[in-house]
Amino acid sequence: MIGRRVVVIGGGVIGLCVAYSCATKGHHVVVLERGEPERDGCSFANAGMIVPSHFVPLASPGAVSLALRSLWKRTSPLYVKPRASADLLAWGARFMRAANRTHVERAAPLLRDLHLASRACFEEWAARFDNAFDLVERGLLVLCRTDRALAEEVHVAELARRLGMPATVLDAAAVVGLEPGMRMSVSGGVHFPLDAHVSPSALMNTLRRESQALGATLRHGTDVRAWRMKGNRIAAIDTSDGSVEGDEFVLCAGMWSSELARKLGLSLPLQAGKGYSLTLDDPPSQPRICAILSEARVAVTPMGRTLRFGGTMEITGIDERIDALRIRSIVDSVASYYPAMTPSHFANATIRSGLRPCSPDGLPYIGRFRRFENLSAATGHAMMGVSLAPITGGLIAQLLSGEAPSLDIALLDPDRFTRRAASSDRLSTSSDKGRER
């Protein structure tokens, strides 16, 4: 199966990792990307974190009540924008079913393994490419302003240690000891030493360069318009720049993957989780370690001489507009943790937004569809796109090369909600027939 023509739909960080990994195995890769090489969006505007500490999926106990409490509160870190949408209602119902302890217990070991495998890839790439994407391995600090938040993070630290990952609980003095150059208002925190961070733009540039060096073709400004079928295979894609044939097709179009799948009669439930980033070119102080501001759910990442803050999860439609109220909420939250950083410091911040593709159960879609023998999915990574991109690319490349995947990805099956819906339909039909008798 070596030397096949692989068409990757989507040139974000997931698509480029798929392209690079497939090219390393000798495949002829074409990447179709609707945007231009330099653009806004999740792959460029994110916090650049590699987070083995994020082993609890978005769908977890307490997430439903948090979402309901935030329904009408636009400044909440998690905000569900009320709107009349059948897709949103169906997604919400699935989210509620998945938000339980059993799901977390099944998903956490897999997410741990995926993150750690990606981390190993980043280390390998940093050595191979002279650390062109600025990998920094100093861990991550979860900072808590209240004792209640600290108690919750201590529980997460205990779960991490049960999964074999180190985590150190710190009081306020110990936090200051790790960040002596920062003035902070915190009650304590947790340090996860296996976490790391990169520069997203530098990572994207590296992946583009190295993929092209291996022979991959990147076609930007190219919209996918229709699928061409031949039996149970995809034969080609009609685009704004002509038809593209291939042996294998990989759907990596982020939030737009759902609509492209729907054109094939496939169900790939996704909701857009809009997030924002604010980048300071001249911050008043610079941390050494990336951080999560626990109560505010704001990420803080030093990137060279700049400092980036990323936050909010706004479940919305395809809407990339900047909401000034939510930006102000991030700024105010930062000031409450770092008193030296006042709103005036953000007057000239670079503000970006991006739509994270969120699945109902908080797990990405990675694998082949059953209905079409040469169509695969690599999407739905939500806030973990950068962290899981290298292993996602590696797993897809293994599948397309006829190899067994290095990790068990049964939980990531892109058909998992289609199969459940079909099962429910069969049960309903059987029940109806029973009543007729």
d(CA 77, CA 384): 17
| Burial (CB count <10 Å: 0-12, 13-18, 19+), residue 168 | middle
Q: 149 has which bridge partners?
A: none
Predicted confidence (pLDDT) per residue in 240-270, tens digit: 999 999 999 999 999 999 999 999 999 999 9
Helix, strand or coil for residue 386? Answer: helix
Tell me the torsion sign for CA atoms 390, 392, 396, 402: positive
Which H or E run includes 162?
helix 147-162
Could you tell me how many residues make up the chain?
Answer: 437
| Burial (CB count <10 Å: 0-12, 13-18, 19+), residue 286 | middle
351, 160 Cβ separation under 8 angstroms: no
Q: 274 has which bridge partners?
A: 314, 355
Structure confidence at residue 75 (pLDDT): 73
- 230-249 per-residue burial string, b: 16 or more CB within 10 A, e: under 16: eeeebebbebeeeebebbbb
Q: 309 has which bridge partners?
A: 278, 300
Report the 3 state secondary structure along 222-275.
CCEEEEEEECCEEEEEEEECEEEECCEEEECCHHHHHHHHHCCCCCCCCEEEEE
Structure confidence at residue 66 (pLDDT): 67
Complete domains list, the chain, with CATH? 5-421 (3.50.50.60)
Structure confidence at residue 69 (pLDDT): 64
Structure confidence at residue 312 (pLDDT): 84
Helix, strand or coil for residue 131? Answer: coil
Strands 28-33 and 5-9: parallel
- 380-419 per-residue burial string, b: 16 or more CB within 10 A, e: under 16: bbbbbbbbbbbbbbbbbbbbbbeeebebebebbbbbbbbe
Pick out the chain residues at pLDDT < 50.
421-437
Predicted confidence (pLDDT) per residue in 52-98, tens digit: 999 999 888 877 666 666 666 777 777 777 788 899 999 989 999 99
289, 180 Cβ separation under 8 angstroms: no
Structure confidence at residue 70 (pLDDT): 62
d(CA 138, CA 121): 17
